[in-house]
Structure 1
Amino acid sequence: MRTLCASTLIGEVFLIGFAGLVAMKDPDLSMGTVWTVSGIAMALCVLFCGVITRPGGVQLGWALQIALIASGFIVPTMFFMGAMFAALWWASVHYGRKIDEAKARFAAQAQAQAGAEAGGNPA
């Protein structure tokens, strides 16, 4: 799960950066404000890559997805892009957990098989 979720978050770093470039064209927003908010959001994406597997990590990712969608009030395209990345986030969490379960199951089978082979061959 960690790899898929981290990949989604890194993609969001680029998305936020491009949205910041678009937001700079808004005459009501100062460049400092745009890049402060964008920079914090980009840093949070990178930091969240490290806490995905910890308790609350997935929920932090969902909070970020909601913030991305809400950024559509500043850059309207972000309503769509935020929804697309929220769908990617869901898929990363959902299928990542399935992959983790399959890996654990295969590891347990391999360990059981190795134990059976070691116990079955007297030396």
Structure 2
Amino acid sequence: MRTLCSSTLIGEFFIIGFAGLVAMKDPDLTTGTVWTVCGIAMLLSVLLCGMVTRPGGVALGWVLQIALIAAGFVVPLMFFMGAVFAALWWASVHFGRKVDEAKARFAAQSAQGGSSTPDAA
């Protein structure tokens, strides 16, 4: 799960940065405000890479997904990009857990019956 979720979060890091560049064109926003908000979100996305497997890590990832979608009120394209990354986040968590379960089953089978590979003879 960690690899899939981390890949999604690193992709979000770049999307947040690009959204910040677009948001700077808004005359109502100051450069400092844009980069403070984007910087915090970018830092959170990187820190979450290491926290995904810890308690609350996935929940914080969902908070970031909601924030990306809400960024659409400033940069309208973020409604779409936020939804895409929320779907990727769901897939990363869902299929990552399945992969982790399969690895655990394989490890348990290997520990019980020795090696399960045909070349083990």
Q: What value does the CA root-mean-square deviation take over the aligned residues?
A: 0.9
1:35 is aligned to 35
Distance 2:54 2:87 in 1: 21
Shift >3 Å, 4+ stretches: none
CA distance in 1, matches of 2:114, 2:84: 44
Shift of 1:113: 1.4
How far apart are residue 25 of structure 1 and its match? 0.3
**Shift in Å at residue 114 of structure 1?**
1.9
Aligned length: 115
Q: Distance in 2 between matches of 1:18 and 1:57?
A: 24
- Structure of higher CA gyration radius: 1
* Equivalent-residue separation in structure 2 for 1:15 and 1:21 (angstroms): 10
> Any gaps of 5 or more consecutive residues in structure 1?
116-123
- Structure 2: distance between partners of 1:94 and 1:13: 21
Shift of 1:83: 0.2
For residues 83-119 of structure 1, give each alpha carbon's deviation from its aligned partner in whole angstroms, at most 9, with x where no partner exists.
000000000000000000000000111111129xxxx
- Between the aligned residues of both structures, percent identity stands at 78
TM-score after normalising by structure 1: 0.92
2:75 is the counterpart of 1:85: no
Q: TM-score, normalised by structure 2?
A: 0.93
Give the residue type in structure 1 aligned to 2:98. Answer: K
Write the deviation string for residues 53-105 of structure 1: whole angstroms up to 9, x where unpaired: 11111000000000000000000000000000000000000000000000000
Structure 1 counterpart of 2:114, one-letter code: A
The letter of the residue matching 1:15 is: I
